Amino acid sequence: MQAHNVRTLAGRDKHRHALRQYVIGFLASIVLTLAALWVGFAHGLPAGPLLLVLLLLAVLQIGVQLFLFMHITEGDGPPVHSLAIALAFLFTFVFVAGSLWAMSFHYMVA
């Protein structure tokens, strides 16, 4: 247990940097949410671009959570866990987009 204490004292700068990351992340997530609300309510964008902007803001939010809060880049070996999460995002996209595409017949016949 001793070893960890020594290490942590040596890394005070690192900690300050880490705290800054959390604060920046929090502010960013608030700002991004407010931006989404503003775009949604106060702006008369047509449906398509509006959806695009909102989804883009959501993707940025996820970036904040993943990189600034969840430390996705950290670890103690090759970053295989990042690869797993990346694959999950890929298949999230594939299954959602693929299902909606395949099921879009519904709107043609309805």
Partner 1 sequence: MSTLTWEWPGVHAAPGETSGEVSIEYSQPSESLKIFGFWLFLATDMLLFACLFATYVLLHTHTAGGPTARTLFDVPGFVAETFILLTSSFTSGIATYEMRRQRAGSVALWLVITMLLGMAFVGLEAKEFVDYVQMGATMSRSAFLSAFFTLVGTHGSHVSLGICWMAAVLIQVLRQGIHPQTARKVFNVSIYWHFLDVVWVFIFTVVYLTGVVM
Partner 2 sequence: MWEAIRQFGDTYLMWKEGPLIWASDVLILLTIAGIVAVLTYFKKWKWLWDEWLTTVDHKKIGIMYLICALLMFFRGGVDALLMRTQLALPNNHFLDAEHYDQIFTTHGTIMILFMAMPFIFALFNIAVPLQIGARDVAFPYLNAISFWLFFFGALLFNISFVFGGSPDAGWTSYPPLTELGFDKGPGENYYLVSLLISGIGTIGTGINFIATILKMRAPGMTMMKMPLFSWAVLASSIVILTVFPALNVALALLLIDRLFGAHFFTIQAGGNPMMFINLFWVWGHPEVYIVVLVAFGVYSEVVATFSRKEIFGYKSMVASLMAITIVGDLTWVHHFFTMGAGPDVNSFFAVSTMAVGIPTGVKMFNWLFTMYRGRIRLTLPMLWTLAFIVCFAFAGATGVMLAAAPADYQYHNSYFLVAHFHQALIGGVVFGMLAGMYYWWPKMFGFKLDERLGRWAFWLFNLGFYVCFVPQYALGFMGMQRRMYTYPAVFGWGPLNFISTVGAYIMGLGFLFIVAQVLYSIKYGERDVTGDIWDGRTLEWSLPSPVPHYNFAVIPYVTHRDMWWELKEQGRTQELRPRPEDIRPIHMPNNSGRPFLLGVCFFVAGLGFVFAWWLLAVLGLLGVGACLLARSFETHDEHDVPAEEIRRYEAQLGRL
Tell me which H or E stretch contains 69.
none
Q: Does 104 bind partner 2 (CB under 8 A)?
A: yes
Q: Does 84 bind partner 1 (CB under 8 A)?
A: yes
Query: One-letter amino acid identity for 57?
Result: L
Q: Are 75 and 84 in contact (CB under 8 A)?
A: no
Tokens 């608030």 correspond to what residue? 30
Q: Which does 29 bind (CB under 5 to 8 A by kind): partner 1, partner 2, none?
A: partner 1
Among 87, 89, 93, 97, binds partner 2 (CB under 8 A): 87
Taken in order 62, 65, 68, 71, the sign of the CA dihedral is negative
Among 13, 47, 105, 108, binds partner 1 (CB under 8 A): 47
Q: Does 94 bind partner 2 (CB under 8 A)?
A: yes
